[in-house]
Structure 1
Amino acid sequence: MLRKVYPYACLNIDITWSQWFKALRKAIYTTENRAELSRKISGLFSNQDNVIVTVCIRTAFDLYLSALDLPKGSEVVITSINIPEMTRILRKHCLIPVPVDIHVDSMITPSDRLEKAITAKTKLIIIAMLYGVTYDLTDISNIAKKHNLPLFEDCSECYSGNNFRGSPLADVTVLSFGPIKTATAFGGGVVIVRDSKLLGKMQALHASYQVQPNSVYLIKVLRYSLGKIALNSTAFNYTARLLLLQLNIEYKKFVVKLMRGFPPSTGLEIYHFQPCAGLLSFLYWRLENVNENDLISSMKKVHVGTKILTDGGVLVPGYKSDRKMFWLYPVIVDDATKAYSKLNNAGIDAYRGISQLNKIDPPVGSSYTPIEETNKMFANLLYFPLHKDVPEKYIREICMKAVELLKPEPKL
């Protein structure tokens, strides 16, 4: 029997109701010019007119690969964790993803492992900054230059204010403002392209896409309001979550499905749209009003939780990194099934499948290196309700309770 519920979910929609109503108004009607809005958003991240604003990161990635036009059968060396759709897009372009195992304690893609994965077939390097952890790309950039390979930096999970532009060493950096990302606009991707020739190709191709109707954005804004109620409402988490858990109703599967940005698709045509004026207008308003200092300082209490957990013997991926802005909080346990049961019975909203992030398996063949650390991580990975909107009091309580519950059982 649950005696206490910590009223915060492991997934958070980073938006207030007043901000949501602003998005709703702009989705219903706006007279603002799309080109001018795109120019204003671009100006927040660069003064070189080298930014493309897309419907989403998947559109940006497909656009990039189309402009790059790599030979069919080329290998792409990629960080071993991403959403399955990114590897599906690679395969749709007839490219072969070759994952590079990470260091779990820092969430870094090690440069020595990356270079070992490069072969004569390698034509591209993709580095994903995971769970908001970022790091210096100097060594990886040097390897890319040595082998004459373009470097794509996926910072979809790393936005920490408009001064964050990714690494200037990457040829392309992407940022996401999807429904569960920091400073969400319920969509939108920012693509910073540092190769002028490639930029021209991407801009021309993007301009050929139809503009997504405002009605599509309106439906998203309305749909995600349900997710906000289920995830962000402390009243819901105090009452409904308690009742649903007692009835063994797995409501989180419904919420996760609700938060998916796009339905399944066999082709890539679903991404071939330009953002509507409503999305651009709200994205610009949202970014213009971000308080970067508040955003960064709000992470300090989450780092307090990280220290409690790691001091208590609980492994937090990326805990060794100096630069981390957790938008989703991962924890590795000894037995995920048992830990899930213990934590939820204690009122802590731990969950396994809340994110689409998953490991990328190597191609079949003995020449490819196994992703051992990544495999171990995903075998017993949970997500905790620790994010910037949880008060420090609850963060401390949740982490201390988790340490108590996750202590290894004494051997007889």
Structure 2
Amino acid sequence: MIARGRLDIRFAELFWAAMYSIGSTCGLKKERPNFSEGQLPCLSVRTGLHLVLEALNLQPGDEILVADVNIPDIFAIIASYHLKIVPLPIDKNTLGLSAGQIEAAITTKTKLLLITHLFGAIMDTEPLLDIAKLHHLIVIEDCAQAYDGVYEGNFRSDVAMFSFGLIKTNTALSGAILYIRNEELLAAVKILNNRLPLQNGGRYFKKILTAALINMLTARWPFTIAYWLCKQLGKDFDAFITGFTRSFPGRDLMRKIKYRPCYANLCMLRRKLSNFNRSHIHKRRILTTQLLEDVDSRNIIGNANLWHSHWVIPILVANPSLLIDKLRENGFDATSKASSLVKMGFSDFLSESSNELTLQNLVYLPMDVEMGKNKVKQLNQLLLGNLLNE
């Protein structure tokens, strides 16, 4: 069976991560890795958002305009500051926000706009920033799913946050990079970050071992055996897989994110940033084009987006469980649970003709750039046959 995805890290890179970790434990640290001007490494995007909100010192009841789809932790962090979340719908075709809807949502209490780039797609931010800057809003871009080695956020944004967590593009197993273009804000966030205790090196070493295990498990035959065993034992295969990849499982989120990256984590962040090979993005684009050839554009999430790195491949279907079962029967691990995204409440802007992104009918196709041509063709034909029959 072809796995739903592979970690974007090679065994050779895991070896280097282990060497950094062991060297640090043995007291063989060299100088702290250097990062470019304006780049701030931190433990996670969650940590970065917490630090930025702490530095901004907004008042309880102030409003933040947010894309209404994100991971639950992002909404929880905002709520922990007693800020009012104003959700905005995402267009399923462009994966963008509407400048008109942003302008209509702004009140005297609105202080910040949080733009979320989903699935590897980067939305057009220019019209959004025109409105935001006209109303003197702070603008943060959540680019956790959108790293491509080129985009560093719109230079008019105040903050852009990129994740290098376990399942992300160019993973360093943990960590994030913040681009903060407001010098005063950057200085304040640095002070707050430096006050945090260091991440436990043993915890990072455990991530190295977990990544090595996942790399072995997601090879063709081990993955097939794992799927068969789960089925025989009546276990939830999706729960089994996602159990390996959660960044901050359990409760007490705010306590868990308040750390700085350990030395080994910083070394891997620096190494991955310096050695990123953009050919991987090119291969993902080719694979996505081939898998979705002749598929109706109405089934393709983000079909009108012009800057897409295809971190995942979501499609919209009438009966997700039926398609997933069919694909798994044929050796393709499609899933409706490849992401921890949630949709917040109901938008005031929804209409019957809306192109608003929803999550309940999405299926995520396998993303494996090493998939052979015959397998790519087979999956494409399965999609065409099953989607046409819906």
TM-score bracket, normalised by the shorter chain, equals: over 0.9
Counterpart Cα distance in 1 of 2:300 and 2:197? 43
Shift in alpha-carbon separation, 1:406–1:242, aligned structure 2, 3 A? farther
C-alpha displacement at 1:374, in angstroms? 7.7
Instruction: Write out per-residue CA displacement over residues 55-112 of structure 1, whole angstroms, 9 at most, x where no aligned residue.
Output: 1111101001100111101111111211000000000011122111111011111211
Q: After the TM superposition, which residues 12-411 of structure 1 pair with which residues of structure 2 at under 5 Å, given as runs?
A: 12-30=6-24, 31-33=28-30, 36-37=32-33, 39=34, 42-43=35-36, 49-161=37-149, 163-230=150-217, 232-245=218-231, 248-266=234-252, 268-292=254-278, 294-305=279-290, 307-308=292-293, 310-311=295-296, 315-362=299-346, 368-370=348-350, 377-409=358-390
Residue 176 of structure 1 contacts residue 189 of structure 1 at CA under 8 Å; is this kept in 2?
yes
Shift in alpha-carbon separation, 1:402–1:237, aligned structure 2, 3 A? farther
* Letter aligned with residue 299 of structure 1: R
C-alpha displacement at 1:116, in angstroms? 1.7
C-alpha displacement at 1:158, in angstroms? 1.1
Counterpart Cα distance in 2 of 1:87 and 1:389? 36
Aligned to 1:3: none
Greater shift in the superposed pair: 194-203 or 133-142: 133-142
* Letter aligned with residue 160 of structure 2: T
Greater shift in the superposed pair: 391-400 or 195-204: 391-400
Shift in alpha-carbon separation, 1:305–1:349, aligned structure 2, 3 A? same
Shift in alpha-carbon separation, 1:386–1:314, aligned structure 2, 3 A? farther
Shift in alpha-carbon separation, 1:19–1:392, aligned structure 2, 3 A? farther
Instruction: Write out per-residue CA displacement over residues 335-373 of structure 1, whole angstroms, 9 at most, x where no aligned residue.
Output: 22222222222322111122111212259xxxx444985
Shift in alpha-carbon separation, 1:207–1:331, aligned structure 2, 3 A? same
C-alpha displacement at 1:243, in angstroms? 4.9
Residue 107 of structure 1 contacts residue 318 of structure 1 at CA under 8 Å; is this kept in 2?
yes
Residue 315 of structure 1 contacts residue 331 of structure 1 at CA under 8 Å; is this kept in 2?
yes
C-alpha displacement at 1:235, in angstroms? 1.7
Report the TM-score, using the length of structure 2 for normalisation.
0.92
Counterpart Cα distance in 1 of 2:187 and 2:17? 31
Aligned to 1:10: 4
RMSD (CA atoms): 2.2
Aligned to 1:4: none
* Letter aligned with residue 345 of structure 1: E
C-alpha displacement at 1:319, in angstroms? 1.7
Counterpart Cα distance in 2 of 1:258 and 1:331? 24
C-alpha displacement at 1:242, in angstroms? 4.0
Residue 309 of structure 1 contacts residue 316 of structure 1 at CA under 8 Å; is this kept in 2?
no
SS at match of 1:185: coil
SS at match of 1:183: coil
Shift in alpha-carbon separation, 1:375–1:243, aligned structure 2, 3 A? farther
Counterpart Cα distance in 2 of 1:257 and 1:309? 35
SS at match of 1:58: helix
* Letter aligned with residue 381 of structure 2: M
SS at match of 1:179: coil
SS at match of 1:255: helix
Instruction: Write out per-residue CA displacement over residues 234-282 of structure 1, whole angstroms, 9 at most, x where no aligned residue.
Output: 1223443245446543223122022111122335122111111011112
Residue 328 of structure 1 contacts residue 387 of structure 1 at CA under 8 Å; is this kept in 2?
no
* Letter aligned with residue 346 of structure 1: N
Shift in alpha-carbon separation, 1:75–1:22, aligned structure 2, 3 A? same
Shift in alpha-carbon separation, 1:96–1:227, aligned structure 2, 3 A? farther
Instruction: Write out per-residue CA displacement over residues 185-240 of structure 1, whole angstroms, 9 at most, x where no aligned residue.
Output: 1011000001011111101111111111211111121123333333x311223443
Instruction: Write out per-residue CA displacement over residues 174-193 of structure 1, whole angstroms, 9 at most, x where no aligned residue.
Output: 11100000111101100000
C-alpha displacement at 1:171, in angstroms? 0.6
SS at match of 1:382: strand
Greater shift in the superposed pair: 76-85 or 299-308: 299-308
C-alpha displacement at 1:309, in angstroms? 5.3
Shift in alpha-carbon separation, 1:190–1:391, aligned structure 2, 3 A? farther
Counterpart Cα distance in 2 of 1:371 and 1:208? 47
C-alpha displacement at 1:152, in angstroms? 0.4
Report the TM-score, using the length of structure 1 for normalisation.
0.87
* Letter aligned with residue 235 of structure 2: I
**Which runs of no fewer than 5 residues in structure 1 stay unpaired?**
1-6, 44-48
Shift in alpha-carbon separation, 1:287–1:171, aligned structure 2, 3 A? same
Residue 343 of structure 1 contacts residue 405 of structure 1 at CA under 8 Å; is this kept in 2?
no
**Which runs of no fewer than 5 residues in structure 2 stay unpaired?**
none
Shift in alpha-carbon separation, 1:267–1:14, aligned structure 2, 3 A? closer
Residue 89 of structure 2 contacts residue 357 of structure 2 at CA under 8 Å; is this kept in 1?
no
Instruction: Write out per-residue CA displacement over residues 5-56 of structure 1, whole angstroms, 9 at most, x where no aligned residue.
Output: xx3212321112222222222222243446x31x2xx22xxxxx22210011
